[in-house]
Structure 1
Amino acid sequence: MSLPSALKFANLPTKIEKLDRLSKELGDVEIYIKRDDQTGTEISGNKIRKLEFAVKEALEQKCDYLITCGGIQSNHARATAAIAARLGLKSYLVLRGTREDDIEGNYFLDKILGADIKFIAPEDYRERRTDIMLELADELNRKGHKAYVIPEGASNGIGTFGYYRAMEEILKQEVDLGFKFDAIVTAVGSGGTYAGLFYANLAYKNSAKIIGFNVCDDSSYFKERIKNILEDSFKYTGERIEFSKDDINIMDGYVGKGYAISSPEEIRFIHRFAKLEGIILDPVYTGKAMLGLVGEIEKGKLKHYRKILFIHTGGIFGVFSKKDMFFL
């Protein structure tokens, strides 16, 4: 299959490590973690894999402005601001929040990286974020710029190929490891990471189960969302792969209080995991997803999977915005 071309910014391949102590605690299972939190520093996390494809398309269209959206601590927004600065482009971030929010974590880095920022209310973000970004693009275009709009998380057809390539990377790493993973697990916040893994898993007729833990909305929402992302991606390859929404495995029940809202239980888990494995999860995505994975294993619902790979999608800068919840 011929994929679209991409930029090369991420430090790849990211390594796979066994979580020895967690695996021992859980019993008859081996948990591994793929360190996509180490794809870079300013561009760290899963978003850069998707942006390598999206921003390449922006450059091919001669765009000089990148517009995207996210929460106040959006990893994707920060990575977009960073890659724009690296390429000599401008970035405009539409963030859910207010100017009164503390300037810390990813928001602090957005400002250091020179991004233009527009804050919008949560209800506007939920209902009108795409329209708002398109309005900004029109305004910039009238001023002589050419803007490229990237959806939340770069989760669209072109962004899908970031994790299509990541799945290819995993398949090569399995050869070196000498075994195959029974399941590959990721947090699901906008759907693009799951979509890419799922697409390549089907394309290569791989036997692993792709499992997502949603950190907002619900399973039904993401099954439809991922289906639409995949339909969009087929336009780029010209090769459709048949699948059913029932094949998309989203394990609900670990959203907690809501997107980017942490419970004491989640913070305690992130803290315990850090002390156990020396790896810091983030409060928005991987903390909830790893808590979900451990919970489902302890309930016996994943007993058929003996070797599980968890994708660490990054987000360490978001921990600082939750610092007051630690050590209580």
Structure 2
Amino acid sequence: MKVEGFPSKSTISAIKRGFQSQCVSNVKLDGEDFVSKLLDRRWTLPHPDAKIHQVMLSTSKVSQPGRALSDVSFFNKINPSFSHGLMDKDDGEPSFFIVRDDLLHPLINGNKARKLDGLIPLVEDHSGTHVVTCGGCQSAHAAAVAVSCSERGIKSHLLLRGEQPEILTGYNLMSTIYGNVTYVPRSLYANREKMLKSHADYLAGSSGNVIWFDDIMEASLSENDGAMSFLQKDAYRSDHPRKIVIVNEGAGDVVALLGLIRLVQYISQNHILGKERPLKLVVDAGTGTTAVGLGLGAKCLGLPWEVTAVMLADTIDGYRRQEKRLISGFKRHFGLQIDHCFDEIDRGLVHWVERCHPRKFGNVLEGEVEACQHIAQQTGILVDPVYTLAAWEMSTVLREQEAEGGATVVMLHTGGTLGMFGLAQRYKSYFSNLKTGLFN
């Protein structure tokens, strides 16, 4: 199908280069000015705020590899005190801090909300009426897209890998309620680009428009360079009612980095975590996009922070390739005025590490569900056995290593709450054997 109403990718790139060469100042910006300019845009989240809790540990001997978390007692200090941007140390027990992004939204919690923070407004700015994306059967990304689009009057179409489960639950249930779900055989899902384009063409019919979100990104320049208004007024003008925007699986592209940089800017304020104290920022890694976004934010703002990402879905070589790809894309789209910091960025931003406990089979290790129960009953904080538990474990290890005046350890809780329902359905034996209480 010939797509009408949108310029080609090469045309957009040419327009972009022309406006950049005419309008970008030769004066380089410092880090804070660059980030402020970068984040001067519309967002999905009304505010970047996040609650921060302090998790107290009952013992200083918690970091031995393989040690069960059930041997450690935790206490959640919901309102920790901050003094001039330096987290006040408790005189007694060791602790780490936790950024509660799992509380951002009842259904779109954690890093999915941050990744979509800068994406959804661009879809709206380009008059998108439908969004097509894909994911696994229990895709948190698909559910987040469905809910976010529904809240803004945009229709979402979600291509989920595999077969419809007998019982709809978790993210799968939310995707079905808020969006339009199609289950795709694994053989077809393997070629995601072809699958997404074919479905978008079908939705567009003979009169609609189809565009990849990547092409929207190519056209989305800063507000001051004039290119956006030009493209909006002319190249994107169309009388066709349907405008289909294709978003890649996981939204793991450059635009997803912006929401994480916005979070870093927020929590680095002097009255929160501050800019002076060394931090070890811990996050679980699926695609690795969240970790790279945090690293970019810290580097651009000149913060003495190290991002530690627990690898859960790929090899270290795979994560490093993803990191280089995202950094390259970020520089291409946004880096014209801050070249002086990119030499260090090119050497890597993220400290990629293995999880504390090796995996056995499937996605759930025996004992991890019980560890989640232990943490929930003692702190009121829910972590999932696959992703956020790994970040919690790494935070306890780093807290011990950074004792005696070392860096402060801060964990980003990336959510995953609804994923527990899908895991309980798939791994029934682990969940059916949960103890009824801590002392049984």
Shared fold (TM-score, shorter chain, > 0.5): yes
Question: Which residue pairs with 1:35 in the alignment?
Answer: 100
CA contact (8 A) 2:282 2:410 kept: yes
The Cα of 1:266 is off from its aligned counterpart by 2.2
Of the three residues 37, 43, 49, the one matched with 2:114 is 49
Q: How big is each residue's C-alpha offset from its partner over 1:296-328, in whole Å with a ceiling of 9 and x where there is no partner?
A: 667x59999541110001111111123332251
Q: For 1:93, what is the secondary structure of its paired residue? A: strand
Counterpart check, 1:176 vs 2:241: no
Q: Using a 3 Å threshold, how does the CA distance of structure 1 residues 177 and 185 change in structure 2: closer, same or farther? A: closer
- Alignment-mate amino acid for residue 353 of structure 2: M
Question: Which residue pairs with 1:256 in the alignment?
Answer: 359
Give 5+ residue unaligned stretches, structure 1: none
Counterpart check, 1:271 vs 2:373: yes
The Cα of 1:255 is off from its aligned counterpart by 6.7
Q: For 1:272, what is the secondary structure of its paired residue? A: helix
Q: Percent identity?
A: 24
Question: Which residue pairs with 2:387 in the alignment?
Answer: 285
Structure 1 residue ranges, 4+ long, deviating more than 6 angstroms after superposition = 301-304
- What TM-score, normalized by structure 2, do the two folds share? 0.67
CA contact (8 A) 1:284 1:318 kept: no
Distance 1:150 1:288 in 2: 28
Counterpart check, 1:132 vs 2:229: no
Q: For 1:268, what is the secondary structure of its paired residue? A: helix
Distance 2:48 2:59 in 1: 26
Counterpart check, 1:7 vs 2:40: no
Distance 1:56 1:225 in 2: 25
Q: Which moved more, 1:316-325 or 1:116-125?
A: 116-125
The Cα of 1:6 is off from its aligned counterpart by 2.9
Q: How big is each residue's C-alpha offset from its partner over 1:165-216, in whole Å with a ceiling of 9 and x where there is no partner?
A: 01111101x5335673521011111122112111111101111111101221
- CA RMSD, Structure 1 to Structure 2 (Å): 2.8
Q: How big is each residue's C-alpha offset from its partner over 1:128-158, in whole Å with a ceiling of 9 and x where there is no partner?
A: 2233222222322335232222223221111
CA contact (8 A) 1:157 1:234 kept: no
Question: Which residue pairs with 1:310 in the alignment?
Answer: 411
Q: Which moved more, 1:34-43 or 1:147-156?
A: 147-156
Max Rg structure: 2
Q: Which moved more, 1:262-271 or 1:311-320?
A: 262-271
CA contact (8 A) 1:182 1:306 kept: yes
Question: Which residue pairs with 1:19 in the alignment?
Answer: 55
Distance 2:142 2:124 in 1: 18
Give 5+ residue unaligned stretches, structure 2: 1-33, 64-92, 209-241, 434-440
Q: For 2:308, what is the secondary structure of its paired residue? A: strand
Question: Which residue pairs with 1:238 in the alignment?
Answer: 335
- Alignment-mate amino acid for residue 180 of structure 1: R
Distance 1:13 1:80 in 2: 21
The Cα of 1:109 is off from its aligned counterpart by 1.1
Q: Using a 3 Å threshold, how does the CA distance of structure 1 residues 103 and 273 change in structure 2: closer, same or farther? A: same
Question: Which residue pairs with 1:118 in the alignment?
Answer: 182
